[in-house]
């Protein structure tokens, strides 16, 4: 049963970028993202304070901390990521975001004083080679642009900074409350960017928009996140291992839904990125039965999508 849940989780998790690109074709992406934030935020508020009647409200300096989390984890991360999807393939996007644990490790070294081991540096090097193998031909074949890659870097840095900051600040609020308000604040910060970058472009209600939004909110934000928390409670290590398959599913979904080609260098690059993650221990392979494996405090769970 856990294997079926894991496969369903990684399939839905990987589909986030494909659903996003599918949903905003010929649409202003930040306006679509604002609509997604608004729907998800409304659902979270109803769930947290209506159905569950959670009375825990942020107080004082916690609002400032939540504002930073919302700005980095929602506004800048997803805003830059969705803009990049106009200029890079879903496969390349997924590979870049798969290296997030490496950035978290390096920022933890600078910010939290955490030591990066030689094994982790080796994993970073292997994954970097894989990214170069995929990115260079994509640029040469016009499947990606330098601006798209720069936006991906901004997205990765924003998410990594937000993850390390959240760990550093140690917010004393339930995770559901944190997710609810960082989403609300992320929407508030996103609206000026959407107005400035999308201009006077308006949404056109199309089957792609409705389908992409419905899938992103229900199948990714709700079901995939619920599966993630279920798997983490049962076995945190194995929950992390499933994410190694995310780039593979992303390539297959993009090929089937968007018609994006899968080239030999994509396969080689994806394999190296996943190998780098495994070597570094960022995604730790589950130990054999009877052999205990310690989960370090520095392993970071994937962000809700």
- Tens digit of pLDDT at every position of the chain (305 positions): 667 887 888 889 889 889 988 888 778 889 889 998 899 889 888 888 888 776 678 888 899 999 998 999 889 988 999 999 888 888 888 888 777 767 777 777 777 776 777 887 788 788 788 878 877 877 777 778 889 999 999 998 888 888 788 778 877 777 778 888 888 999 999 999 988 887 667 788 888 899 999 998 888 877 887 777 577 556 554 555 666 677 788 888 888 998 888 888 888 888 887 788 778 765 444 433 333 343 333 444 455 56
Position 27 scores a pLDDT of: 86
Nearest to 92 by CA among 36, 40, 153: 153
Domain ranges of the chain: 2-280
Q: What is the dihedral of CA 275, 281, 285, 289, to 10 degrees?
A: 150
294 DSSP 8-state letter: P
pTM above 0.85, yes or no: no
The answer to whether 21 touches 259, Cβ cutoff 8 Å, is no
In angstroms, how far is CA 209 from the centroid of its own chain? 20
Q: Which residues are CB-contacts of 234 (< 8 A; sequence separation ≥ 6)? A: 2
Q: Which residues are CB-contacts of 51 (< 8 A; sequence separation ≥ 6)? A: none
Tokens standing for 77?
């991360």
Position 304 scores a pLDDT of: 53
Report d(CA 250, CA 18) in Å as an integer: 7
Tokens standing for 238?
């194995």
Tokens standing for 88?
């890079």
């Amino acid at each position: 049963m856990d294997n079926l849940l894991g496969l369903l989780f990684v399939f839905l998790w990987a589909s986030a970028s494909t659903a996003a690109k599918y949903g905003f074709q010929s649409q202003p992406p930040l306006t679509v993202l604002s609509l997604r934030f608004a729907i998800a935020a409304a659902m979270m508020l109803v769930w947290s304070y209506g159905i569950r009647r959670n009375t825990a409200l942020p107080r004082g300096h916690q609002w400032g901390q939540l504002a930073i989390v919302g700005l980095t984890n929602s506004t800048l991360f997803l805003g830059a990521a969705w803009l990049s999807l106009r200029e890079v393939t879903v496969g390349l996007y997924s590979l870049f975001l798969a290296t997030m644990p490496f950035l978290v490790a390096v920022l933890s070294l600078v910010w939290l004083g955490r030591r990066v081991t030689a094994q982790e540096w080796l994993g970073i090097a292997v994954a970097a080679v894989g990214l170069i193998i995929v990115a260079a031909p994509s640029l040469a074949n016009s499947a990606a642009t330098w601006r798209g890659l720069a936006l991906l870097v901004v997205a990765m840095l924003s998410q990594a900074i937000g993850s390390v900051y959240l760990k550093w600040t140690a917010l004393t609020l339930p995770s559901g409350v944190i997710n609810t308000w960082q989403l609300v604040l992320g929407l508030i910060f996103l609206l000026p960017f959407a107005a400035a970058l999308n201009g006077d472009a308006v949404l056109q209600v199309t089957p792609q928009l409705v389908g992409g939004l419905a899938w992103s909110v229900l199948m990714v934000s709700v079901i995939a996140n619920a599966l993630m928390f279920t798997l983490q409670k049962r076995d945190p290590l194995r929950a992390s291992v499933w994410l190694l398959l995310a780039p593979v599913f992303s390539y297959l979904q993009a090929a089937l839904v968007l018609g994006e080609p899968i080239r030999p260098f994509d396969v080689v690059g994806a394999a190296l990125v996943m190998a780098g993650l495994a070597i570094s221990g960022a995604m730790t392979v589950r130990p054999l039965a009877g052999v205990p494996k310690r989960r370090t405090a520095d392993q970071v769970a994937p962000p809700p999508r």
